Structures are given as C-alpha cells and as structure tokens.
Structure 1
Amino acid sequence: MKTTLVTLLAAVLCVVQAYPFMCYVCQEQESNNNCLTISMCAEEDKYCVTVHNYIGTNSNRPKYVISKMCSSICPARGQQQNQTYQRVSCCERPLCNLNGVSSKQSSYGVMALGVLASITSIFACGL
C-alpha cells in the first residue's frame, strides 16, 4: 500500500508539468494588487518574471512600477540605466510570481519541502 501511494504521489508531481505553464502578468502597475491576472505562457516559456522599475520619487518616497510576464529566459538582474533601477526576479514554477520576490532557488526549496512533507505524512499515517 505504501508503494502505491508513493507511486501515486510521484505520478501527480509529473502530471503537473504536463499542464500549460501559467504566470501572473501585468504591465507597469503601481501596486502588486493590480498584477493578479493569470496568463497561459507560450510552449517555450519556462520562467515567470517580475520586474520592479524605480521611476523616481513621489512625496519623498521612492516610486516603483511592477511588471510580470512569461519568458523563455531569465533576464539580467539588477540593471541600472540613467536614473532608473530595475530589479528582476525569475522562478520556474506555475504561478510562482505572485508576490514578485520569488527566485529560482526558493521555488526549488518550496517544491522539495512539499514533497518531503507529503512522503513523511504518508509514512506517519502508516498507509
């Protein structure tokens, strides 16, 4: 029975990759709350990307705009041009760019932790 459940868990994890890759998308929004639109990515896309652009100050506070997109590559991070600064975050899991601070390394960590918790739960329940 344990072998069946572990095999089923592995199959479910593999099936997740078969579904279309999706990311949150938006263009130059002032709030992450305006960046919750989900979009299907192209077949070659494997990254969800979040870009924060510093565009000046507003009432003595820095002003940023946020853009989110699908991408086949992870763009260069932390580019500075003239008076603007750009912070780029990339991740490789569907819908992983929700909060805009995900990274490739953290998405792997979360996935590994989820698999470990599932396997531990299966064995702890004695199934």
Structure 2
Amino acid sequence: MAAELTTHVLDTSREGPAEGVTVTLQRLDSDGDAETLADGTTNDDGRLDEPLLTPDEMEAGTYQLQFDVGDYYRRSETGSTFLETVPVRFVIEEPDEHYHVPLLLSPGGYTTYRGS
C-alpha cells in the first residue's frame, strides 16, 4: 500500500458511514502553531475522495485532524449538540508507511485508532 494519510468516519449510532463531515488536516510546529495542509468532506461512504497526504507530501512530524461533526449531528435524527469539533493529534514517524486514522463517532463520544 502506498505511503499516504487517509481517514474515514463511521457513525456507530447509525451503524454506517457519516456523510458530510468536514475534515481538516493541520501540521503542528514545535511551538504548537498549526498550518492547514488539506481539507475535504466525507462522501456517502464516510471517506474523503482523495488522500489527505500523498506519498510525495508525507513527512515526519506532528499532525492534527479536525472533524467538524456539529453540523453533521444537527442535520441528523438525533439533533445532538454535544460534540462540535473532534481533534485527533498524532505523529507520523515513518513517512514511507501508510497512515489511516478513522473516527468512530456517536452522539455522546468518539474513538480513534491507527488503522491499516
């Protein structure tokens, strides 16, 4: 598998993909300042149409994905207003490897992991 950064969002309360979630990728410098590198919106499969980082863009460093879930939930049947933005901060140590960072979402919480 190519060295890329990808993500997807699953809504565990609906047992399926979360469509229409805006995802922003930022790189953090040593002072914690963030530079936005990419963004996109999840499709009907809960995935972005393109990788957040391509093989040529992969670099070691600290990154943050921001999942803007507030609008998603306000449009949903639950109408939950608890979560607005879910930040996931992680480190890419081996830029020649594939990094997949999924978000498992529910109205009252979330979890993430390094996927394959």
Q: Answer yes or no: same fold by TM over 0.5.
A: no
Larger Rg: 1
Q: TM-score, normalised by structure 1?
A: 0.29
**Structure that is richer in strand per residue:** 2
Of Structure 1 and Structure 2, the greater helix share is in 1
- TM-score normalized by structure 2? 0.30
Q: RCO greater where, 1 or 2, for CA within 8 Å and sep 6 or more?
A: 2
